[in-house]
């Protein structure tokens, strides 16, 4: 149970009593526990995925999973807030920018797309990847 206390006052702000509200929070607690369990399962899925998962916002990496570090040989700290062009082969930057601009201009339509382009590892070596994406709109 959760107890909430409020003063009861007259129009002239004279306190004339106290009101206690007792709320059964059993369902709220069950929802919080279920959400916590779901978040833990999501975290385990992302951290153990065999594919690199990343979130790009304003052409900056704002989230990535451990597989992204393994593929690029950058540390998590190095990847966080890295501009995407640092990971792209110079010949593929224009292609990715065109796709990025197209995706950014879409408001409701999320086509399924797969692209193939080259990434550049920290040591300068280049490798091909197949990339698919989905648009996630944040509520601001």
| Residue pLDDT, tens place only, 83-120 | 999 999 999 999 888 887 777 776 655 555 788 899 99
Residue 115, pLDDT score: 83
* 36-80 tens-digit pLDDT: 999 999 899 999 999 999 988 888 999 999 999 999 999 999 999
Mean pLDDT (whole number) for 18-22: 89
Residue 28, pLDDT score: 86
Please answer whether residues 59 and 47 qualify as being in contact, where contact means their C-beta atoms are separated by less than 8 angstroms: no
Residue 60, pLDDT score: 93
Residue 68, class by beta-carbon neighbours within 10 Å (0-12 exposed, 13-18 middle, 19+ buried)?
A: buried
Residue 61, pLDDT score: 94
């Amino acid at each position: 149970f959760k107890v909430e206390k409020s003063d009861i006052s007259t129009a002239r702000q004279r306190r004339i009593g106290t009101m206690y509200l007792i709320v059964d929070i059993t369902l709220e607690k069950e929802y919080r526990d279920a959400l916590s369990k779901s978040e833990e399962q999501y975290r385990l899925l992302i951290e153990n995925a065999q594919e690199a998962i990343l979130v790009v916002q304003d052409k900056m990496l704002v989230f990535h999973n451990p597989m992204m570090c393994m593929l690029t040989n950058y540390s998590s700290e190095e990847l966080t807030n890295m501009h995407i062009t640092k990971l792209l082969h110079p010949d593929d930057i224009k292609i990715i920018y065109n796709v990025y601009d197209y995706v950014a201009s879409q408001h409701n339509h999320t086509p399924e797309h797969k692209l193939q382009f080259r990434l550049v590892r920290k040591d300068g070596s280049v490798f091909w990847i197949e990339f698919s994406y989905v648009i996630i709109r944040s509520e601001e």
